[in-house]
Structure 1
Amino acid sequence: MSFGLVNVPVRLFSATENHDVQFRQVHEKDGGRIKYQRICSIDGEEVPYSDIAKGYEAADGQMVILSDEELKSLPTRTTKEISIEKFVPSEQIDPLLFDKSYYLEPDKTGLKPYVLLRDALEKADRMALVTVSVRTRMTLAVLRVREGVIVLQTLLWADEVRKPEFESLSEETHATQKELAMASSLVDSLSGDYEPDEFEDDYSEAVAKLVETKIEGGDITETPEAKGEESEVVDLLAALQRSVDKAKAARSGGSAASAASETASTATGTEGAGGTARRSASASKSTAKKTAAKTTAKKTTAKKATTKKAATKTAAKKSTKKAS
């Protein structure tokens, strides 16, 4: 943190945390978590992370793909310095601009200048407007004091705050003196100090109690652990099915495909003894792969049959318990 000619070593800690109730999407029948695949909207193929790029959609709907090299050339700030630009009156910063909050902890070597800046901010009743690089992108922020600790709050850019444009409020409508007097009386009757502990998140508490009640009553779903091998088998079977479909499509070419095959055979016949040996080795590898694929398919079929029988027995037991 740069304060004039003084540098204060500090560490950033997130000042807030999210306590919202988090639900997971699961299969109602067995409680299995729902997974999402990265599927290309054009060819329907699953796309690995290595093939995913960043794209910017233009106003006319056209997609512009940006490479990593192009993104690296953009103006960014990798400096870890929090540079104080000016001190502004607190009332000039609209709370609507506040974004993320961080506590600044001073390093032992910078304790004295840290305390000096903290006390100066409190005495002046101003906020320090700073520039800071968060995740390589430069942003505006303010420094203020809360409970004896300097807090850094990043700010939204001015054009990120929407302007309220409501036609109903554009009319010249105002409250009458009598209505305003009654409203003021209501405000006075409800006036008080803000006590954070006075209010509680009753929704989160209600969800926690509901879950606890269901657990105590045994109303839970025992979800078997997902096995990575199963997803790999499914992906393998899908790949094999696509290969079979392509092979069938190639065979449906008729005489044209046969002619191409004969031409290829004639061309390979000129390779001599070395070519024959390579073809023999290739044929052996192909045979081994086909044998392995057949064995895997048999194992997968047997495994599915066993799983299906087990699921049927489990369903029958649950049905008997419910009937009793």
Structure 2
Amino acid sequence: MGSMPRSIWKGAISFGLVTIPIKLYSATEEKDISFRQVHAEDGGRIKYKRICDKDGKEIPFSEIAKGYEAPDGRMAILEKSDFDDLPLPSAKQVEVVQFVDAEEIDPTYINKTYFLEADGPGAKPYVLLRDALDKTGKAALVKVAIRSREQLAMIRTKGDLLLMHTMLWPDELRDGEFAAPASDVSVSDAEVTMAQSFIEALDGPFEPEQYHDDYRAALEEVVNAKLSGSPMPSEDSEEAPEEAEVVDLVAALRASVDAAKKRREAAKGESKTG
């Protein structure tokens, strides 16, 4: 088992007159491969200096502040204390402002996911909120300030846990109408029926563990080969099928359905013999 993650925030959920002390933990971690910028000739690391554009001097972190530049060029310089002393009621208190059906919230709003853990005497009221949400099928809409930023968030249940999904504000979501096809584009009933057949051919329960990051695995092979001086891994010799220009959607979908069924049968055969 891995080490216990560190909590990134401590506060309390205000559930009416009930207070639930909690700790917050990141529920996700990216598994991407990280690289350093280096000199291609000798592998030396590339370093960047923090230079002030007024006096040309290198500035230590202790002297760097955050500045907001107004449209007219004026600069407002904010210190750490300015952020710490913001008059936000949500700074350490997560107040439930509404209960909603989780299905009502467009997934585009969801930003990050966190685990909530009861802190100290918070176990009993934690279970109370969890079970109440479970029985009503609702999620709690809250406001919370994390890392100097107030955010809308949704608290919902998952098994024995309470999860919190921070959300974007409505004005942070772009209008995607520009990407919609023209209103005069239409498809036939036969084409829709064939598309439904393709969906049914690939229909199944969501099992995320069967999917893997092939790009990361291939990149790790290349990195390991470079480190060990081994021959570079070769590409898969199988040629990708050429994509023909789609003229007849029904015929293309029918071929897609046949191919999907064959893949399903092949996968079942492998699982039986594996």
TM-score of the aligned structures, taking structure 2 as reference length = 0.71
Note the 1:255-294 alignment, pairs <5 A: none
Alignment match of 2:74 (pick from 55, 64, 68): 64
In the alignment, which residue of structure 2 is the partner of 1:141?
153
Of structures 1 and 2, the larger Rg is shown by 1
Give secondary structure in 2 for the equivalent of 1:194: coil
Alignment match of 2:189 (pick from 177, 189, 202): 177
Q: Which has the higher helix share?
A: 1
Distance 1:167 1:133 in 2: 33
How far did 1:8 drift?
1.4
Alignment match of 2:66 (pick from 41, 54, 61): 54
Alignment match of 1:195 (pick from 190, 207, 226): 207
Amino acid at match of 1:203: Y
Note the 1:94-109 alignment, pairs <5 A: 94-109=106-121
Alignment match of 1:89 (pick from 84, 93, 101): 101
TM-score of the aligned structures, taking structure 1 as reference length = 0.61
Give secondary structure in 2 for the equivalent of 1:17: coil
Amino acid at match of 2:76: L
Alignment match of 1:5 (pick from 17, 24, 27): 17
Give secondary structure in 2 for the equivalent of 1:36: coil
Amino acid at match of 2:77: S
Distance 2:73 2:222 in 1: 47
Q: CA RMSD in A?
A: 2.4
Give secondary structure in 2 for the equivalent of 1:183: helix
Distance 2:180 2:166 in 1: 33
Distance 2:153 2:180 in 1: 35
In the alignment, which residue of structure 2 is the partner of 1:321?
none
How far did 1:85 drift?
1.1
Distance 1:66 1:75 in 2: 18
Instruction: Give CA deviations for 1:61-103 in whole Å, capped at 9, x if unaligned.
Output: x432113369457654573111111111112111110111110
- Do the aligned partners of 1:53 and 1:66 also contact (CA within 8 Å) in 2? no
- Do the aligned partners of 1:79 and 1:133 also contact (CA within 8 Å) in 2? yes
In the alignment, which residue of structure 2 is the partner of 1:252?
none
Distance 2:96 2:64 in 1: 39
Instruction: Give CA deviations for 1:165-210 in whole Å, capped at 9, x if unaligned.
Output: 3266243322211111111111111111111111001111122222
Distance 1:76 1:116 in 2: 27
Amino acid at match of 2:160: G
Residue 127, structure 1, aligned to residue 129, structure 2: no
> Identity rate of aligned residues, in percent?
45
Closer, same or farther in 2 for the Cα pair 1:169/1:210, shift >3 Å? same
In the alignment, which residue of structure 2 is the partner of 1:253?
none
In the alignment, which residue of structure 1 is the partner of 2:168?
156
Choose 42-51 or 14-23, whichever is displaced more: 42-51
Residue 32, structure 1, aligned to residue 44, structure 2: yes
Distance 1:27 1:134 in 2: 38
Distance 1:103 1:181 in 2: 42
Aligned residue pair count: 217
How far did 1:43 drift?
5.5
- Do the aligned partners of 2:90 and 2:144 also contact (CA within 8 Å) in 1? no
- Do the aligned partners of 1:76 and 1:136 also contact (CA within 8 Å) in 2? no
Gaps of 5+ in 1: 220-324
Give secondary structure in 1 for the equivalent of 2:28: coil
- Do the aligned partners of 1:77 and 1:136 also contact (CA within 8 Å) in 2? no
Gaps of 5+ in 2: 1-12, 232-274
Amino acid at match of 1:137: R
Instruction: Give CA deviations for 1:211-268 in whole Å, capped at 9, x if unaligned.
Output: 222323279xxxxxxxxxxxxxxxxxxxxxxxxxxxxxxxxxxxxxxxxxxxxxxxxx
Distance 1:173 1:87 in 2: 40
Amino acid at match of 1:109: P
In the alignment, which residue of structure 1 is the partner of 2:221?
209
Amino acid at match of 1:148: D
Q: Which has the higher strand share?
A: 2
In the alignment, which residue of structure 2 is the partner of 1:301?
none
